């Protein structure tokens, strides 16, 4: 069994930042990642543009320089690879953590490849891998997707998008551009305030010109192979449909967090893991969380641009504990 002082689960930007900050303080660490470096960003839509500026997405004192004000997905992939090389981070890619046990004050981390022993453990797994469930009849059909990659395969198809925030609106615009017949369903009564301001005018123009059919205060109630039934303020309506994109958000892997003994608390947004704000340590000694999972179901409060600072808080707490042990 390999022994390491500190292990970080997840090689997203916040996990990378945690590794960098620990390395700066001489804390030996590795990152275990079930995919590859910044796997969630890799799975973003091909032409995704970030909401944040490149400066705010930068980590580890490595400048993120692009010509545009807002970087794109491919530019971010290049940047974070360069960060890993610059700081010489140790990442075990394509290795999934299956179980964590705490015995005699140390963590045994079981993976699909081997077991590790560590004193400090940081969970920075994000939430992109766990889409919120669409609990309606037919939601299990193969034509229902929770992730949008590219629009080309849906040319000349009837596509329904559920949701009214950035991911849904980005997908709707791309699909309409590629020649899909797009209908959007959103529970809200007006456009979400969180929508990126530079895309909202285009989206509203497409809706106003009926190139995208948008139903506010509406929801899907049934899906079958060729149609979708929606409930609108005007009543139920069944429309032709080839594909459904349920862009209704994501959540942390709560079962995994609970399996490690992390306490879950309830707030106005739903569920969230318990942690100390000053250190990011959970109710389990020496077990930390970093990044967007700290927000639980409220995905609009923690992003890369502020979650990246969790790593420094964790590293400082570990440093203090090491000093107290001497």
pLDDT digits (tens, 9 = 90+) for 115-138: 999 999 999 999 888 899 999 999
CA dist., res. 215 & res. 194, Å (int): 18
Which domains are seen in the chain, by residue range? 2-130+250-325 (3.50.50.60), 144-246 (3.50.50.60)
What pLDDT does 234 receive? 94
All residues at 6 or more sequence positions from 42 whose CB lies less than 8 Å from its CB, including other chains: 35, 36, 77
Q: For residues 82 and 65, is the Cβ–Cβ distance under 8 A? A: no
**Largest pairwise CA distance in the chain:** 70
Q: For residues 305 and 296, is the Cβ–Cβ distance under 8 A? A: no
Single pTM value for the model = 0.91
Q: Is the pLDDT of residue 82 over 80?
A: yes
- What integer is the mean pLDDT of 155-160? 98
Q: Is the pLDDT of residue 105 over 90?
A: yes
Nearest Cα to Cα of residue 85 among 21, 16, 148: 16
Q: Is the pLDDT of residue 69 over 90?
A: no
For the chain, give the percent of residues with pLDDT over 70: 98
- What integer is the mean pLDDT of 74-97? 97
Q: Is the pLDDT of residue 270 over 80?
A: no
Query: HSE on the CB side for 118, CA within 13 Å?
Result: 25
3-state SS assignment for residue 319: helix
Q: For residues 291 and 124, is the Cβ–Cβ distance under 8 A? A: yes
Strand locations in the chain (E): 2-9, 29-32, 91-92, 97-103, 106-111, 115-123, 144-145, 158-162, 181-185, 212-215, 219-223, 227-232, 235-240, 243-246, 264-267, 270-273, 287-289
Check residues 299 and 150 and name the one with the higher pLDDT: 150
- What integer is the mean pLDDT of 37-59? 92
Average pLDDT over the chain, rounded to whole? Answer: 94
Q: Is the pLDDT of residue 239 over 80?
A: yes
Q: For residues 229 and 237, is the Cβ–Cβ distance under 8 A? A: yes
CA dist., res. 111 & res. 99, Å (int): 7
Check residues 167 and 270 and name the one with the higher pLDDT: 167
pLDDT tier, 326 (very low <50, low <70, confident <90, very high otherwise): low
What pLDDT does 324 receive? 86
CA dist., res. 261 & res. 256, Å (int): 9
């Amino acid at each position: 069994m390999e022994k390491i002082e500190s292990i970080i689960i997840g090689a997203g930007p916040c996990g990378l930042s945690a590794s960098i900050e620990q390395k700066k303080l001489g804390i030996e660490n590795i990152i275990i990642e079930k995919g590859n470096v910044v796997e969630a960003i890799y799975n973003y839509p091909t032409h995704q543009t970030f909401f944040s500026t490149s400066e705010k997405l930068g980590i580890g004192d490595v400048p993120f320089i692009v010509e545009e004000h807002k970087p794109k997905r491919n530019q971010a992939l290049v940047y974070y690879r360069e960060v890993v090389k610059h700081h010489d981070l140790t990442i075990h890619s394509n290795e999934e953590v299956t179980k964590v046990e705490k015995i005699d004050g140390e963590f045994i981390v079981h993976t699909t490849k081997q077991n590790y022993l560590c004193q400090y453990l940081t969970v920075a797994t994000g939430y992109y891998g766990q889409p919120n469930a669409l609990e309606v009849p037919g939601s299990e059909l193969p034509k229902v997707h929770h992730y949008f990659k590219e629009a080309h395969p849906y040319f000349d198809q009837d596509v329904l998008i559920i949701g009214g925030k950035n991911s849904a609106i980005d997908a709707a615009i791309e699909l309409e551009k590629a020649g899909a017949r797009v209908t959007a369903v959103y529970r809200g009564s007006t456009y979400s305030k969180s929508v990126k301001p530079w895309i909202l005018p285009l989206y509203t123009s497409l809706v106003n010109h009926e190139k995208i059919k948008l139903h506010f205060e509406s929801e899907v109630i049934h899906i079958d192979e060729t149609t979708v039934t929606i409930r609108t303020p005007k009543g139920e309506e069944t429309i032709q449909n080839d594909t459904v994109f349920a862009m209704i958000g994501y959540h942390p892997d709560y079962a995994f967090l609970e399996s490690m003994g992390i306490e879950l608390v309830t707030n106005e947004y739903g569920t969230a893991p318990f942690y100390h704000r000053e250190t990011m340590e959970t109710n389990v000694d020496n077990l930390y969380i970093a990044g967007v999972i700290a927000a639980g179901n409220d995905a609009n409060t923690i992003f890369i641009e502020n979650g990246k600072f969790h790593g420094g808080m964790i590293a400082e707490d570990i440093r203090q504990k090491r000093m107290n042990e001497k």
